[in-house]
Structure 1
Amino acid sequence: MTAERLPEYRVKARNTSERSENKIHDDAVARQYGFRGGLVPGVTVYAYMTHPLVEAFGTGWLERGT
């Protein structure tokens, strides 16, 4: 089986949880752990990742995941 190359998709991630109770999303706290800034929430990253997958596999991928 040959892996299909996904199209390139670039996005500037936006941290929508800077004021979250989970302080790893806060720039100052994240820097204490060695990050350049607050971590973008996983659900947001997942949303960004769906764009190239839908482009490659079609909207059916959203319905069934394969």
Structure 2
Amino acid sequence: MGKKKKQEIDLSNIKTVRLEINFSVPKEQFDELLRKMAHIAEEKISDQVEEKKEEDKTKKKKD
């Protein structure tokens, strides 16, 4: 019997890759992660609001 050829995949033809990852985390750690993520999101939103206010002030001064 002959040897089987290794099947090669042409990576240049691949447009998407789908990964399925299953993991488990204790509820306390997951809740802490969500809390931190929410805090980061709030900081980004407040930073964007402050930047917008500053832009508006500079526009008013130019007018």
TM range (shorter): under 0.3
TM-score, structure 2 as length reference: 0.28
Bigger radius of gyration: 2
Q: TM-score, normalised by structure 1?
A: 0.27
Query: Larger relative CO (CA 8 A, sep 6+): 1 or 2?
Result: 1
Greater helix share, structure number:
2
